[in-house]
Amino acid sequence: MGKAKKPFYKRWWVWLIAIVLLWIIFAGADETEEEDVETADQEMVEDGEGQDVEDDKSVKEDEEKEEDSINEEDGASAVPNMNNIMDKSEQEVEGVLGEANSREETEFRLSGTEDRVPAITSTYQDGTVEVMFVEGTAQRVTYTPPQSIDYNENEIDQLLTDLHIDATITFENDFVTRGESENAHEVSINNNDGNIGFVYIVVDEKYQ
């Protein structure tokens, strides 16, 4: 009789192949799981970093808006001290009002004569203040309030106080109020549709 053949599952190489296949399957599954975990972790990190960037950007924008709001409020409420402007040089005025927004060289005819002298007209603070420098010093100053102010006696007195102008009123009607002070030959407050349109100051009489 011939020798009986072993069943295939009893052959050693069958088990070797089975073990190798099982190892490949489990090793691949573990590697895939690790990659999925790493990918998920990376996405969480990136999402967290992105959120942090967005949060920082949002905070920065809020701070900038708040700062702009404060600056706007300060700019609206800041009224220049005219004693630091009248009869001062360009350099001194810039020290008070900042750099001029515009500057134009011109000439000024002296009152009651045909004589003309060098003059410079400059605007400051976005046009709120206009100064004419005649022969080197600020002799004509116009202040336009950036916000509406009623044209009435109390508001006029308050604005002159804010401007540090101690003026004695010499004339007033529904259109203009005029006065004079120790440091200015003439101060005019003009009515514009019920509001103070502008304050006009002539420092020296010869430059009126």
Whether 120 is covered by a domain: the verdict is yes
Establish if 61 belongs to a structural domain: yes
pLDDT grade for 16, boundaries at 50, 70 and 90 = confident
2, part of any domain: no
Range of the domain at 69: 8-76
What pLDDT sits at residue 76? 40
**What is the pLDDT at residue 112?**
79
The verdict on 31 and 121 lying in the same domain is no
Note whether residue 59 is domain-resident. yes
- The torsion region of residue 99 among left (phi > 0), alpha (psi -120 to 50) and beta comes to beta
Could you tell me what percent of the chain has a pLDDT over 90? 48
* CATH number of the domain that residue 138 is part of: 2.60.460
d(CA 120, CA 89): 11
Q: Say if pTM beats, i.e. exceeds, 0.95.
A: no
Q: Is the pLDDT of residue 71 over 50?
A: no
21 falls within a domain:
yes
Are residues 54 and 26 both part of a single domain? yes
- Is residue 141, in this structure, part of any structural domain at all? yes
In the chain, how many domains are there? Answer: 2
More confident residue, 43 or 117: 117
